[in-house]
Amino acid sequence: MKLVERAAIIATNSAQTTVGAKTFTEQYILADLIRAKLEDSGITARKKQGMGTSILFDALANSSVDVYVDYSGTIWSNVMKRTDMVSREEMLDQITIFLKNEYDITCLGSLGFENTYALAMRRDRAKQLGIKTINQLAHVADEMKVGGDYEFFGRPEWTTMCETYDIAFQKRVSLDSTLMYEAVRDGQVDVISAFSTDGRIAAYDLVVLQDPKHAFPPYDAVILVSPEASRNKTLIEALLPLIGSINADEMRNANKAVDLDSQTPRSAAKLLHSGHKE
């Protein structure tokens, strides 16, 4: 290897890589997991967390953030402005092509699990009302309060869900994503926009309502890499082993470890990391 090439590689790997994260537990854990994988390969990395969806995507597009995990349905709805439904595989293919062509962003692939939006209720309340599906919820929603994270009610999925099921709630309540599960458990709201891999769904005995009309698109967790970082072969090679390596149960348990068992995101990430070393 020529000295110039060696120097370029050293400079690339020694520059600090920024791993982005949104504003909820799963994102913090995955950011720590990615940082650990990068540091195993000699890449210095730091986390930049608590960022909104659009801000984080823009930061990735201009390479001020190098890598983060997003969700296929978010890219499909928010970035591509698509409202049609296609298969999971076709969606991932189209997203990968679109991001590369329009933003020079690399989509490495899915981590292996989906964290979709879903409506959830207390199990006893749903059973009392005979509600198993969003169709059935629509008949009584005008007497209910619905809680969602700060972004949910402004997202296209909310509008699509309301239109698909012709559903209107008595009141909408915006909540921190870490508080909305307690809110429905304690009866402050009747329904929430849950995340399907959240460990509190089982822990609080909530039931996820079926979505028979498929108003919510797939939300496969995908690794996105910025235009600049995409040219770092060491970074790409460090992250590729994560593709397909985490299932929904593993992610749900990691989320539970932080949200209910008082572990840190870093310690939860270590559990995922130790289980997927190549």
Q: Is residue 207 within a helix (H) or strand (E), and if so which, with residue range?
A: strand 206-208
Q: Which amino acid is at 154?
A: G
Task: Round to whole Å and give the CA distance between 69 and 256.
Answer: 19
Question: Helices then strands (H, E): number in the chain?
Answer: 13, 10
Q: Give per-residue burial for 248-273: e unless 16+ CB within 10 Å, then b.
A: eebbbbbbbbbbeeebebbebbbbbb
pLDDT in tens, 28-52: 999 999 999 999 999 999 999 999 9
Superfamily of domain 3-115+219-274: Periplasmic binding protein-like II (3.40.190.10)
Q: Is 100 exposed, middle or buried (0-12, 13-18, 19+ CB in 10 A)?
A: middle
How far apart CA 270 and CA 157 sit, in angstroms, is 33
pLDDT, tens only, 65-105: 999 999 999 999 899 999 888 989 999 999 999 999 999 99
Band (pLDDT 50/70/90 cuts) for residue 7 is: very low
Q: What is the pLDDT of residues 122-167, one digit of tens each?
A: 999 999 999 999 999 999 999 999 999 988 999 888 999 999 999 9
Q: Where do the structural domains in the chain lie, given as residue ranges? A: 3-115+219-274, 117-208
Establish whether domains 3-115+219-274 and 117-208 are of one fold: yes
What would the DSSP string read from start to end of 36-53?
A: HHHHHTT--EEEE-S--H
- Contact in structure between 255 and 29 (CB atoms under 8 Å): yes
User: Looking at the domain that runs over 117-208, which CATH code has it been given?
Assistant: 3.40.190.120
pLDDT in tens, 218-268: 999 999 999 999 999 999 999 999 999 999 889 989 999 999 999 999 999
Say what the alpha-carbon torsion angle 68, 229, 37, 70 is, to the nearest 10 degrees: 20
The whole-model pTM stands at 0.79
Q: Which pLDDT value is given to residue 276?
A: 54
Confidence of residue 188 (pLDDT cuts 50, 70, 90): very high
